[in-house]
Structure 1
Amino acid sequence: MLEEIYRAMDSYYHNWIDQAKLDLSEIDYAMAEEKVMEGKEKFADEMRRFRRGIQLIKDDSKPLVRKSFMLMNEVFKRQDESRKKPYMSWRLFQIVYIVSIIPDIVSREYSDVENDSPMVDVLWFPTGGGKTETYLGLVLFNAFFDRLRGKKAGVTAWTRFALRLLSLQQIQRIADTLGQAELVRRETDGIKASDNEAFSVGYLVGEGNTPNSLTKYNDDRRSYFQQNPDLMQKFKIITKCPFCKQSSIYMDILFEEARIVHRCTNPECKEDVLPIFVVDNEIYRYLPTMIIGTVDKLSAVGNQRKFAHLFGRVTHKCPQHGFLSVGECTEKYGCKLKKTDFKPVVLKDPSPSLQIQDELHLLKEGLGTFNSHYETFIDYIQQEAQNGARQKIIAATATIENYNNQIKHMYRRTARRFPESGPILGESLYAMTLKDEVHRIFVGVMSHNKTHINTMIELLQMFHKEIQTLKSDLRFVNRINGLQDLSESDINKLLLLYEVSLTYLLTKREGDRLDQSIEGQVTSYLHRYKLKALHNKSLTGSTNFDEVAGILNLLENPPEEEESRITSVTATSMISHGVDVARFNFMIFFGMPTQTAEYIQSSSRVGRSHVGIVFVCFNPNRERDQSHYHFFKKYHEYQDRLVEPVPINRWSKFSIKKTLPGLFTAVLLNIYYYEHQKNLYFAEEARKLIEDGKLTEEKVIGHLNLSYGIGDPGSEDYKFEIEQMVRKFFNQLRNPKQNFTSDSINPKPMRSLRDIDEPVDFKIGRETDSVFRTIEREGRRNG
C-alpha cells in the first residue's frame, strides 16, 4: 500500500506543470511560473521523506521499526472497529506524514539513519481534518518503538496546548487511544513483561485545575480528601473508561501511595485504577508515557527541581511512590520507607523524544515570547541531562501565516510545512475543495435603527422560536425536498442537532450583558408563545475547570428530559479551538473578531458533521464591522489569504526581565542541585555554594547565554541584560533576606507564563466614579 501511494505521488509530480497550465491562462501561468516550480520542488521533498520512511519500514536490519509501525496500525484498527462510523483507513495526508517523520524518531536509537530531526514539521490542515489522529499515530509508533528498544519507563511524548479547554477536550480521545495501545502492549512478546511500565497519560496543567501535590511540609491533604470524596470529583478529566468505554469513572484516593486516581467502577471491566496521573507530583515520580499539558506550566522549571525528572534525572525507585533523585523519595512527606528500600535504576534514553505543539498559532504576543524563552531553556537542560539528546518537534495548526518566522523565534529552529500547496488553487494530492458540497452557510447582518445587542436578542429569539415550533409540528417536512421520507424519530434527531445556539463574544463584559438579556428578554419572548425558556451556559476564561467539563459532557451527551438539556451557550475565544461537539450547528458572532485566524477557527466549531449556520451580527458603530459587512462575500472568498502573521518577537526588549528570574532559579534547581546534591530551594544553601566557589556568575551566565541563544541576530541587548541581572541576583544571594531562594531575588520567578504584569490595587474616587457611570450610560445607549 505504501508503495502504491508513492507511485501516485510520483505520477502527480510528473503531471505538476500540466495541471498548473490547465488551471491557469497562458498569461497567468507565465506570471506564476516561479511559484509553481517552487511548489513542485517542495512536493519532491515530501516524496523524498516519504520514500525514506518506506525504506526504513522495509529494512530487515532494523525490524523494530516495522514492528512498531504494525503495532500502531493494530491499535487504530481496533479503535476503528469500536466506532459507530468507522474510518476504515488512514487519510492520505495522515499516513504520508507519519511515515515521513519515522526516520526522525528512530534516529535516537539508530545513529546511521538519515534524518531531519532538528527541523520543526508543521502539520497544516483544515479544522476537523484529522490532525489529532495523525500526531497520536506518531505517539503510538514512538511509544511501541521505545518499549521494543528497551526503554521500559520514561516519558515518550509531550503534547502542549495553549488553552486548558483544548487539553480537556482532547484528553478523552488520547486516553482511549493509549488504553487500546496498552491492551496491545500486554499481548506483545518482548514488551508485555511486568518490568515494562504500562502506557499512561499525565495531565500537567497546574494547581488552579489539579493539585501540585497531596503531601507538603506540615500539610498532608490525604485525610481531607479521604473524608470528602466529592471534592476529588472535580479532578476527573475523562468521563468514560478507556478500556470498557462505559461512563463508570469515579475519583478515589490511594492513601499510602498518595495518589488521586481515576477508578473504573464497572464490575464487568477488568481494569480498576486507570493509568492516568493528574497530580503534578505523581507525574514527576511515575513519568507517564505521554504528558498532556498547557504551555504556561513550563514555568514550573524555575520553581520545581523535580521537573528535571521528566528529562531522566532519576537514580532510584521507591517501591511505594515511584522514581526519585538525590536520595529522597519524591513523596518524601508521605513516605515511611528507608533510603535502603530504594532500588537503583538506570533508564534507557529516558527523556521525551517527541514534542507536539497543538494550535501553534495561539502562541503569540507576550505568551509566545515568554514561552519561547522557556522552550529553548528546556531544550538546553534536556541536552545537558542526556548527552545532547533533543526532542523532535511537530506542530499542528489549521490557520497560520509566516510560520517560518514563528518557529525561528519560538524554538530557534527551521521549519517546513506539510502538506505544501498543489499546482491547482484549492487542491493538492491530499485534499481538494468540493465546490458542490455545503458545510457552512454564512449570513451577515447589520442592524439599522436598532442597537447591536437588541439585534442579537432578536436573532436568538427567532431561531429558538423556530426550532421549538418545528418540534411541536413535524408536518413541516412535507414542504422540504428530501425530508418527506424521514421517520418521526429521524426528524427529532435532526432537530436535536440544531437545538443549541452558540454565541461568540468578543469580550466577557458583552457576555454578561447578553446572559442577562437571555434570562430576561429572550425568556419573556418565548413564554409569550408558550415555548420553553432557554437553558443557557457561559464558557469564558473564568469558568471553573469542573464546570467546563460538566458543560461539555452535557452538550455531548444530552439528557432525555428536554428541560435538562443545554440549549444556549455564550462563549469567548476559549471555545474557538479544540472543541468538537456535534450539536454545535448554529452560531452567532456578537461582532466581528479582530483576527481572521480567530474567525476561521471559531466558525469551524459548527458544521463539523452536519451543515452549519453562521450569523455574523455586525456592530453598526464600528468602522471595521461596517467594512466586513460591505465586503462580506469577497472576504469569505479570499479568507485563507487574509490570515495575519503571528505576532511574536523573541528579543522583545522587556520580556527578558520577566523570564530571566525563573530561568536563573531553573539553572540552580535543574543543574546545580543535581551536580552538588545541595537543597538550593533555600537561599542559605545557595549562599554557601557561592562562598565555596562552586556556584559562579560566569558559569550561570554561560548556561543562560546558551539557552537564550545569545549570538543570534537581535540578541545583543539580552547579553548585557543577562550579565547585569545575574550579578544582581548573586549579590542578593550573598546576603539573603528571605528563607527561600526564589523569595530572595528580585524580581521573582514567574509562577505562570501568563503573569504579564504585577497586580496593582486601585480605588475609585468620587470624581472617577462619576466618569465611569457616564461611560456606562453612553455605552448602553450606543449598544
Structure 2
Amino acid sequence: QGDMGGLDGGRGVAVIMRYTLRLLTLQQFQRATTLICAMEVLRRTEPTVWGDMPFTIGLWVGQRVTPHTTEESHAAIEKERDGKYGTGSTPAQLTSCPWCGAEIAPGREIRVDRDLGRTFVYCGDKYGRCEFSQAKSKNLGLPVLVVDDEIYRHPPSMLIATVDKFAMMARRGQVRTLFGNANRECPRHGLLWPEADCSGNHTKKRTLEAVKARVITPIRPPDLIIQDEFHLISGPLGTMVGLYETAVDELSTWMIDGKAIRPKIIASTATVRKAEEQMNNVFLRKVSVFPPHGIDVKDNFFSVQRSVEDKPGRLYMGICSLGSSRPAVMIRVYVALLTGAQSLFQRFGPAADPYMTVVGYFNSLRELGGMRRLAEDDVQTRAYRVQMSDVKRPGLSQRSVRIVDELTSRVSNKEIPKKLGQLEVKFKPTWEKGETRAIDIVLATNMLSVGVDVNRIGLMVVNGQPKNTAEYIQATSRVGRSFPGLVCTVLTWSRPRDLSHYETFEHYHATFYKHVEAQSVTPFAARALDRGLTGAMVSLLRLKNDSMNPNSGAQSLDSSGKEEALRARKVLSERAWKVKDKAARTTANNMTADRIDLWVKESVKPGRRLGYETERGQGDLAALLKKPGALAWDEFTVPMSMRDVEPGVQLIMDASKHSSEPPPWKSRIKKANGGDT
C-alpha cells in the first residue's frame, strides 16, 4: 500500500501473533517461519512488485528463552562452539531449516556480527542448494530475528510473542519501534530511539562504509493482531491482558482523513460461550463468530461432521478401581497399555505405531513426579516380566521400556524442540547403534494441552479429571488426529469429583461441549486497577512521547509531560467506561490522577534525578517503578509479567524443630575479648 496518512506501510511490524504459553509460542514460530520464507522467496524473484525490504519474522519472548542483546547472543554461540551447553537464553530456536529441512547446527550455522549488531541464522544445507544457505544468502540467511535488541532495530513483518512480554512496555522504551514510533535510522544498525546506544554516525570500519543517521517517514503500526488460544485469556491473566490492551490498542491506532484506524483482531478460542463479553472486556471490539452456526449443526459449509466409520475419532474409557490406591491402578494401566501395544506391533508392524508411545496427562507437577518414579521402576519391571509368571496374559507381550520423558515447565527452552522432534520418531523392530530412539512414555502437564501437534500419537492416560472441561477437551484432542485415538481417564474413587464423573461418564462425554466454562475477565475492577493501572499508564506515556521515552524521561512529567499525562488519563478512563460503566470510568480517572500527582511529587524532589529504573553508572537516579515481591505493593509497583499479580510466598522450613537431632549449625557466641566462635 505504500505511504498512507503520512505513514510508511512498506516496513515495520504488520502482524502480531500472541500466545500464552512458551511451548506454543516456540512451535508456532517454527511453523510461521516457513510462511515467511515462502514470502521472502517470492519477494526476491519479483522485487519490483514486493519491494526491497525483506519479509522477516521475530520471536519476542522471555529473556530466559531468547537473548536480550547481541552480546548475549554472541556469548551463547561461543558456549555452543566450546561445548558448554548452558540452560540460559540462546538464539538457536530452530533445529532445522523451515524451507528445506536441513539440520541447523548452532555453532556452525549461526553467525553473530557484532559490528552490525545482527545475529544471522543460516540453513545447514552442505551443498548450498537452499535459498537460505550461506552460499545463496550470505547477507541475510533465514529471515528470522531472535534477539530483542535486533527486533527493536529491525522490526519484523510478523512478530511472534507471548502476552507476558507486553508487560515490559513500561520498562523498555525501545518497544516503541514495534508500533512504528521512530523517525531516525542508522543505515548500519537500524531504527533509533531517544536512548539508543547508537548515534547513527559511524566512520569506515573494515568492510563497512562510513554512514550518517537519516530522518525517515514514521512507520505504520501493526494492522493485524492474532490472539491464539483466546480461552486461556481469562482469570487474573486475562484481566491484566485486558488492562494492558488499552495501551496496545492506543499505540496501534493511526489517523487518516480524521478517522481513527484500529488494528483488526482475530482470536481463536475453544469456546464461544459469553464470547461477546470476553471480546469486549479484553479488546473492546464487537464479535463476528467464524465459522457461523448455519442451519445444520452437522454441516455449516466450512466444516462437516463425519461418522466414525468414515473418519475414526477418539474413544474415551473411564477406569475406576474401588479400594485400590491411585498409584497401584496407574501402574497396571500403564503396563497393560504398553505391553498390549507391543503385542499389536509384533503382529501388525508400523500400523500399531500410534499406540506405542503412551502420553500421560497430569493436573500437577507433584503427581507427575510421583508417576515418573513409578514409570522408571515398577512399570519398567512389570512390562518386562509380564509373561514371566504362571498366569497367562493373552494379548500382552514382553516389552523393554527404555525412554521415559516429560513435557513440563521443568524442561529447559533448549530441550523443548528436541523433545518434540523425538516424539515424531516412529518405532521400529530393531534399532541401530547411536540412532535416535522413539519415546516409550511421555508425561506432561497442561503444556501439552495447547499447540502440540504430533500426528502419530494415538494413546493417552489422563490422571484424574482435569479442573475444567475446556482443558480436558484441549488435552485429549492431542491424540487421534490422524489415527483412531484411545483416551483412558483414570478416576480415583476417594475423590468425590472423580467418582461423580465416573458415574456419569457416558453422558458427560456425549455432551461435554456444553459443559465448557465461560471465561471471566474484569480488567477495570478495583483490585485489577491496583495491580495493572500504573503499568498501562506508563506504557502509554513512555512509548508515545519522545521526551518521556528515555529512562531519565520520568523526570520530565512536571515540565513537558502534563499534556500527555492528561491525554493518557482520558484514554484509560474512557476505555473503562466503554468496557464497564460510568462508575468504572470515575474510579479509573481518580486512580490515574492520584498516580500522576504522586509522580509529579517524586519528580520535583531535590538532590536527585528520577528515572523509571536505576541503571549502572547513574548513582543519582532514583527509580520510579518498583518490582513486585520484594516490598509491599504500592501505586508504582509494576509487574514484570502478566502473571506477577499474585506473588508467591517464601517459605522457610526449620526441620530441626521436628527432630531429636541437634541442628547442623550453632549461633555465634561473643567472647570476652571481642572475638566470636
> Same fold per TM (> 0.5)?
yes
Partner of 1:754: 643
Two-structure CA RMSD over aligned residues (Å): 3.2
What is the aligned counterpart of 1:637 among 510, 518, 540? Answer: 510
CA gap of 1:768–1:160, structure 2 versus 1, over 3 A, is farther
What letter matches 1:466 in structure 2? G
Trace 1:168-183 onto structure 2 (pairs within 5 A). Answer: 168-183=26-41
Distance in 2, matches of 1:511 and 1:602, equals: 15
Larger CA deviation: 761-770 vs 374-383: 761-770
Partner of 1:744: 624
Distance in 1, matches of 2:560 and 2:588, equals: 29
Larger CA deviation: 364-373 vs 335-344: 335-344
What is the aligned counterpart of 2:171 among 303, 308, 333? Answer: 303
Q: Is 1:357–2:357 an aligned residue pair? A: no
State the TM-score, normalized to the length of structure 2.
0.81
Distance in 2, matches of 1:538 and 1:190, equals: 49
Distance in 2, matches of 1:158 and 1:172, equals: 15
Partner of 1:154: 12
Partner of 2:393: none
Partner of 1:555: 423
What letter matches 2:26 in structure 1? L
CA gap of 1:468–1:718, structure 2 versus 1, over 3 A, is same
What is the CA-CA distance between 1:744 and the residue it aligns to? 2.5
Larger CA deviation: 759-768 vs 403-412: 759-768
CA gap of 1:152–1:259, structure 2 versus 1, over 3 A, is same
Partner of 2:653: 764
What is the aligned counterpart of 1:343 among 214, 230, 233? Answer: 214
What is the CA-CA distance between 1:260 and the residue it aligns to? 2.9
Q: Is 1:523–2:396 an aligned residue pair? A: no
Contact 1:662 1:749 in 2 (8 A): yes
SS at match of 2:112: strand
CA gap of 1:379–1:616, structure 2 versus 1, over 3 A, is same
Trace 1:394-473 onto structure 2 (pairs within 5 A). Answer: 394-437=266-309, 438-471=312-345, 473=346
Contact 2:459 2:479 in 1 (8 A): yes
Partner of 1:366: 236
CA gap of 1:585–1:223, structure 2 versus 1, over 3 A, is closer
Distance in 2, matches of 1:697 and 1:180, equals: 44
Partner of 2:21: 163
State the Cα deviation string for residues 150-174 of structure 1 (Å, max 9, x = none): 8331111111111111121222221
What letter matches 1:180 in structure 2? A
CA gap of 1:326–1:533, structure 2 versus 1, over 3 A, is same
Distance in 2, matches of 1:335 and 1:500, equals: 59
Partner of 1:269: 130
What is the aligned counterpart of 1:190 among 48, 61, 74? Answer: 48
Q: How many percent of aligned residue pairs carry the same amino acid?
A: 26
Contact 2:76 2:91 in 1 (8 A): no
Matched residue count: 598
Contact 1:314 1:324 in 2 (8 A): yes
Partner of 2:93: 237
CA gap of 1:634–1:734, structure 2 versus 1, over 3 A, is same
SS at match of 2:650: coil
Partner of 1:617: 490
What is the aligned counterpart of 1:541 among 397, 403, 409? Answer: 409
What is the CA-CA distance between 1:628 and the residue it aligns to? 1.1
Larger CA deviation: 247-256 vs 306-315: 247-256
SS at match of 1:442: strand
CA gap of 1:711–1:221, structure 2 versus 1, over 3 A, is closer
SS at match of 2:288: strand
Distance in 1, matches of 2:254 and 2:300, equals: 42
SS at match of 2:297: coil
State the Cα deviation string for residues 60-85 of structure 1 (Å, max 9, x = none): xxxx8xxxxxxxxxxxxxxxxxxxxx
Distance in 1, matches of 2:195 and 2:624, equals: 26
CA gap of 1:443–1:224, structure 2 versus 1, over 3 A, is closer
CA gap of 1:333–1:171, structure 2 versus 1, over 3 A, is farther
Contact 2:36 2:143 in 1 (8 A): no
What is the CA-CA distance between 1:653 and the residue it aligns to? 2.3
Contact 1:556 1:583 in 2 (8 A): yes
State the Cα deviation string for residues 481-518 of structure 1 (Å, max 9, x = none): xxxxxxxxxx4322222211111101111011111111
Partner of 1:504: 361
CA gap of 1:319–1:275, structure 2 versus 1, over 3 A, is same
What letter matches 1:244 in structure 2? C
Larger CA deviation: 383-392 vs 176-185: 383-392
Trace 1:213-224 onto structure 2 (pairs within 5 A). Answer: 213-215=69-71, 222=74
What is the aligned counterpart of 1:596 among 451, 469, 474? Answer: 469
Distance in 2, matches of 1:339 and 1:362, equals: 50
Contact 2:186 2:200 in 1 (8 A): no
CA gap of 1:559–1:169, structure 2 versus 1, over 3 A, is farther
Larger CA deviation: 621-630 vs 744-753: 744-753
Larger CA deviation: 627-636 vs 749-758: 749-758
SS at match of 2:423: helix
What is the CA-CA distance between 1:291 and the residue it aligns to? 0.6
State the Cα deviation string for residues 41-76 of structure 1 (Å, max 9, x = none): xxxxxxxxxxxxxxxxxxxxxxx8xxxxxxxxxxxx
Partner of 2:480: 607
CA gap of 1:493–1:711, structure 2 versus 1, over 3 A, is closer
Distance in 2, matches of 1:334 and 1:296, equals: 36
- Higher helix proportion (structure 1 or 2): 1
Trace 1:47-196 onto structure 2 (pairs within 5 A). Answer: 151-188=9-46, 190-193=48-51, 196=52
SS at match of 1:418: coil
SS at match of 2:122: strand
CA gap of 1:566–1:252, structure 2 versus 1, over 3 A, is farther
Partner of 2:454: 581
Residue ranges of structure 2 left out of the alignment (5+ in a row)? 135-140, 387-397, 614-622, 626-633, 660-677
Residue ranges of structure 1 left out of the alignment (5+ in a row)? 1-63, 65-105, 112-148, 475-490, 771-783
Distance in 2, matches of 1:696 and 1:257, equals: 35
SS at match of 1:242: coil
Partner of 1:260: 119
What letter matches 1:723 in structure 2? A
Trace 1:635-674 onto structure 2 (pairs within 5 A). Answer: 635-672=508-545, 674=546
State the Cα deviation string for residues 687-728 of structure 1 (Å, max 9, x = none): 355156757754553344345557841514333322223322
Distance in 1, matches of 2:34 and 2:79, equals: 31
CA gap of 1:394–1:262, structure 2 versus 1, over 3 A, is same
Distance in 2, matches of 1:252 and 1:464, equals: 44
Partner of 1:721: 591
What letter matches 1:528 in structure 2? R
CA gap of 1:221–1:208, structure 2 versus 1, over 3 A, is closer
Distance in 2, matches of 1:169 and 1:393, equals: 21
Contact 2:456 2:482 in 1 (8 A): no
SS at match of 1:341: coil
State the Cα deviation string for residues 556-587 of structure 1 (Å, max 9, x = none): 24587387321111111111011100222100
Partner of 1:382: 252
CA gap of 1:263–1:644, structure 2 versus 1, over 3 A, is same
Distance in 2, matches of 1:567 and 1:693, equals: 61
State the TM-score, normalized to the length of structure 1.
0.71
State the Cα deviation string for residues 365-408 of structure 1 (Å, max 9, x = none): 00000000111211112326988332110111233311111001
What letter matches 2:162 in structure 1? T
What is the aligned counterpart of 1:246 among 99, 102, 117? Answer: 102
